[in-house]
Structures are given as C-alpha cells and as structure tokens.
Amino acid sequence: MGLKKPSAQLGLHEVVEREHPRDQAGLLMQLKDAQAGNRRWAARDLAQYPATATTLGEALLSERDTSVRTALFTTLAGFATDDAVNALLPLLRSEDAGLRNGAIEALTEMPQAVAPRIQSLLHDSDPDVRIFTVNLLAELRHEQVATWLRQVLQQESAVNVVAAAIEVMTEVGDLQDVPVLRAVGQRFDDPFVGFAADMAIERIEAA
C-alpha cells in the first residue's frame, strides 16, 4: 500500500495576534491578565525593565498563584537594585509566610544592594523583622555577615532573636566568635540560650 501524503494542515497552528505588545507598557498590562500563565510570562519578560521594580513589588501583594509569585521574585532578584530592595523589604512584615520567605530568598541574591539596609533592619522595632533579618544573613554572601551576627549577640535583648543568631553563627562562625558566644550565654538567664551557645561553640571548635 502506498504511503499517504501528510496533510498540509497537520502541525500548523492558528496565528493569534498578541493581546498586548511586548514593550514595558504592554507587559505591565499583561501582568494584570486573568490567566496566570500570561501573568507569569509578563513577570519573566519584565526582567529587562528594572524601572518596574516598584510595580512588581505591588503585584506580589495581590498575586495568589505560586508560579507567578516565583517569576516576580526571580525578576526582582535579578534587578539587584535599591528599588528592588525597597519593593521586597515590606514583605518581611507580611502575614503570608510564602511572601516573607520569597522576599528573603530574593534578597539573598542581591547582597550588595541589601547590605546598606541590614543595620536598620537589625534595629527594627518589630522583633519578627529582626528574626527574619537574621534568617536572611544565614544565606547572604557578604563579608559583613559575621560582624552583623556578633552585633546581634552583643546588643540584642529579645531571646528569640538571639537564639536565631546563635543558630546562624553555628553555621558561619569561626574561632574568633567563640568569646562572643560564651558572653551571650552568660548575659541571658535562659537555659536554652546557654545550651544553644554551648552547642555552637562545640561545633565551631570541632570544625
């Protein structure tokens, strides 16, 4: 039996004109599209427009789709600008753990941009923000991380913040941090802080 010639129509797709142009204005319009897939592509394509950082941060506040959120965070992290940092920092106060964690992860990707804000974050009136900042330091590739952690151990008054700093210091500290850990264990009349400090010292000295 002879072979049948494939139909010329097979594999062809209808050409559909894009609803929005692919420039900045068009992509920002697409970011409000009802379809999550369209919003996700807009968030990715906006990576070439750092001036949209504030708008992307605002979009995160209302976005519920996880994949779109991920694209927004990735784009902001890629900007690594002051505007991107400003767009992400308010999310540290969010009741939504997904937004908080996404913001922390994105901020760790821009160490030079976020570094000038660490001091103010460590002195924030909200102890939860100070804890989240310590969590940020755990992954931040910056030469001042150990210095900031020592500051927390020496000055912080909230037990939970100090406990978080001890945990991070266990991973990033070295022998020069042992005296600071011993001092914080003595400074707090709290069995858990003392135990955590001792464990951190033991781990550092064994490394």
- Say what the pTM is: 0.87
Give every CB contact of residue 143 below 8 A, 6+ residues apart in sequence: none
- H or E stretch covering 38: helix 36-45
The CATH code that applies to domain 21-109 is 1.25.10.10
Residue 69: name the closest of 49, 96, 90 by CA.
96
DSSP 83-132: HHHHHHGGGGG-S-HHHHHHHHHHHHT-HHHHGGGHHHHHT-S-HHHHHH
What amino acid occupies position 120? S
Residue 173 tokens read as 């500290």
Helices and strands in the chain: count of H runs, count of E runs: 13, 0
Burial class of 99 by CB neighbour count within 10 A (0 to 12, 13 to 18, 19+): buried
- Per-residue confidence (pLDDT) for residue 19, from 0 to 100: 65
Sequence-separated contacts (24+) of 64-71 with Cβ below 8 Å: 65/36, 65/39, 65/40, 66/98, 67/36, 67/40, 68/36, 68/39, 68/40, 68/43, 69/98, 69/99, 69/102, 70/102, 71/40, 71/41, 71/43, 71/44
Q: Report whether 103 contacts 73 (CB < 8 A).
A: yes
In three-state secondary structure terms, 10 is coil
Residues 130/161, Cβ–Cβ less than 8 Å: yes
Domain ranges of the chain: 21-109, 112-207
The tens place of each residue's pLDDT in the chain, 207 residues long, gives 444 444 444 444 444 345 667 899 999 999 999 999 999 999 999 999 999 999 999 999 999 999 999 999 999 999 999 999 999 999 999 999 999 999 999 999 999 999 999 999 999 999 999 999 999 999 999 999 999 999 999 999 999 999 999 999 999 999 999 999 999 999 998 999 999 999 999 999 998
